[in-house]
Amino acid sequence: MHKLGIIGYGGMAGYHVKELRKYERLTVKGIYDLNPEREVIAAESGLVVYPSKEALLEDHEIDIVLIATTNEVHKELAIEALRAGKHVICEKPVTMNSEELLEIMAVEKETGNFFTINQNRRTNKDFVLMRRSVEQGLIGEPYVIESRVEGSRGMPKGWRTIKSLGGGMMLDWGVHLIDQLMYMIPEKVVDVYCKMYSIEYPEVDDNFRLVMTFESGLTAQIEVSTNNYITHPRWYVLGKDGTLQIDNWDCNGKIVRCIDKENVWEDEIVYTKAGPTKTMAPRRSESIEELTLTEPMDVVDSITVVYDNLIDAIEGKAPLTITSAQALEVMKVMERAFRCQELHRC
Ligand SMILES: NC(=O)c1ccc[n+]([C@@H]2O[C@H](COP(=O)([O-])OP(=O)(O)OC[C@H]3O[C@@H](n4cnc5c(N)ncnc54)[C@H](O)[C@@H]3O)[C@@H](O)[C@H]2O)c1
């Protein structure tokens, strides 16, 4: 049985503990947090509360350390844990920038201990549903993938609004959405354009719009909004033979695709309230079919998937699936996005 020690026992670490409650390959032994209130909560739920991070790292029973602090200290804590002989699972974003990640990667190599990142959204059902549908060829070759998460309540207060602590929506949500698409599409990203907005919090991006182009020409458009009162679909994908839409967090959606390649044109111009059109006039209903998309019930979407893989790697049963090398590529895209924003062009 593996034993987990947690550094940074805030909201997300609490979620890990909840998800791991019935998990059979690991037990959560204890935590270290700077905040005494979090120590009380941990003690009340039966966890050991270590007086210092050194004390946690010196506990020989602990072989895996979760780092779930704010982002600005991920690097130093990851390096200390690896050097203390622990395997590490680090919350996303792995670090503040690629230089910090390269420092961790050097220590990962030097110690031979495993280091993975909680990019847990790779198993989210909406993403898996979109990916499967595209990979099954249901809309033909995809050429645009639009991925959006949108809220209207602004950003949560606290560290997410502070740049030096790794705040902002690019590092918070962008890292997930970019990771999903780079995981799905194993191609070089040849171009990145990004516009960020600071609607409520001047220090950080609370909204952004990113376009990244893969080597094949496939374009991904990623948008994160916190001031959006009318939402777009969560996913909107254009393929050469059809269009996919997943509407919302409940994974409801549809595919509309062409079943009549002949594409017989009406001769007449269509007159609408918004003026006449021929090109944009609706097609004959017999030339398309609609498929309903619903929640994929076979998908296991849990943090335990990430722990399973880390433990398999430790036990020599499988390679790591979420690696620092992948995280580095995602980090580089985010850095290009920040540079684009600073220069007001790319
Ligand atoms: N994977 C996901 O879906 C997901 C979701 C939410 C948050 N996160 C990530 O989890 C991490 C924590 O986010 P959160 O929402 O739980 O924040 P939080 O503010 O609720 O918790 C952070 C905790 O870290 C503690 N802390 C800060 N610096 C510390 C240090 N040097 N040593 C010990 N403890 C320290 C704080 O006291 C706090 O209790 C962030 O990296 C965040 O991006 C990931």
Query: pLDDT (tens digit, 9 = 90+) per residue, 9-66?
Result: 999 999 999 999 999 999 999 999 999 999 999 999 999 999 999 999 999 999 999 9
Ligand 1: atom nearest CA of 77 is 31
CA distance 322 to 236: 26
Residue 308 tokens read as: 């399973």
Would you say 67 and 287 are in contact if contact means Cβ atoms under 8 Å apart? no
How many angstroms is it from 33 CA to the middle of ligand 1?
A: 10
Rounded Cα distance, 286 and 262, in Å: 12
What pLDDT score does 279 carry? 86
pLDDT score at 263: 65
Q: What's the CA-to-centroid distance between 64 and ligand 1, angstroms?
A: 17
pLDDT digits (tens, 9 = 90+) for 195-240: 999 999 999 999 999 999 999 999 999 999 999 999 999 999 999 9
Q: Is the pLDDT of residue 271 over 80?
A: yes
pLDDT at 282: 82
Statement: 2-118+303-332 belongs to CATH 3.40.50.720: yes
State mean pLDDT over 237-245. 97
pLDDT tier for residue 267 given thresholds of 50, 70 and 90: low
Separation of CA 213 from chain center: 18
Q: Which fold has domain 122-300?
A: Dihydrodipicolinate Reductase; domain 2 (3.30.360)
How far from the centroid of its chain's Cα atoms is residue 34's Cα?
27
Q: Nearest CA to 180 among 145, 230, 218, 209? A: 145
Task: From 91, 119, 330, give the residue whose CB has the most ligand 1 atoms within 8 Å, as the site to mutate.
Answer: 91
In this predicted structure, the answer to whether residue 345 has a pLDDT above a threshold of 60 is no
Rounded to 10 deg, the angle between the 11-20 and 304-314 helix axes is 70
Name which residue leads in pLDDT, 234 or 342.
234
Pocket test for ligand 1, best of 7, 12, 74 (most atoms within 8 A of CB): 12
CA distance 255 to 119: 27
Instruction: Tell me which of 31, 34, 172 to substitute to probe ligand 1's pocket, judged by most ligand atoms within 8 Å of the beta carbon.
Output: 34
**pLDDT value of residue 54:** 98
pLDDT band at 264 (very low <50, low <70, confident <90, very high): low
Residue with tokens 């947090």: 33
Dump pLDDT digits (tens) for 59-110. Answer: 999 999 999 999 999 999 999 999 999 999 999 999 999 999 999 999 999 9
Distance of CA 335 from the midpoint of ligand 1 (Å): 22
CA of 309 to the centre of ligand 1 (A): 22
| Cis peptide bond N-terminal to 93, omega within 30 | yes
Test site for ligand 1: of 18, 67, 69, 126, most ligand atoms within 8 A of the Cβ: 69
The ligand 1 atom at the shortest distance from the C-alpha of residue 14 is 16
pLDDT of residue 278: 86
Q: Where are the domains of the chain?
A: 2-118+303-332, 122-300
Q: Output 283 or 292, whichever has higher pLDDT.
A: 292
What confidence tier does 317 reach under pLDDT thresholds 50, 70, 90? very high
Beta strands in the chain (DSSP E): 2-7, 26-32, 48-49, 64-67, 87-90, 115-117, 142-150, 189-197, 207-214, 219-225, 235-239, 242-246, 253-258, 270-272, 275-277, 288-293
pLDDT value at 127 more than 70: yes
Cα(185) to centroid(ligand 1), Å:
29
Which tokens in the block code for residue 227?
A: 């001031």
Distance CA 4, CA 61 (A): 9
Distance 167 CA to ligand 1 centre (A): 11
Measured in Å, residue 188 CA sits from the centre of ligand 1 at 31
What pLDDT shows up at residue 45?
94
In this prediction, residue 268 has a pLDDT band, given cuts at 50, 70 and 90, of confident
Pairing of strands 235-239, 142-150: antiparallel
Q: What is the mean pLDDT of the chain?
A: 95
For residues 30 and 48, what is the distance between their CA atoms, to the nearest angstrom? 4
CA of 68 to the centre of ligand 1 (A): 4
Is-contact 2 23, C-beta < 8 A? no
- What is the Cα–Cα distance from 245 to 122, expressed in whole angstroms? 18
Per the confidence metrics, is the pTM higher than 0.75?
A: yes
The b-or-e profile of 251-270 (16+ CB within 10 A means b, else e) is: bbbbbebbeeeeeeeeeeee
Q: How far, in Å, from the CA of 246 to the mean position of ligand 1?
A: 30
Of ligand 1's listed atoms, the one at least distance from the Cα of 15 is 16
Residues with CB under 6 A from ligand 1: 7-13, 32-35, 38, 68-71, 73, 91-92, 118, 120, 159, 172
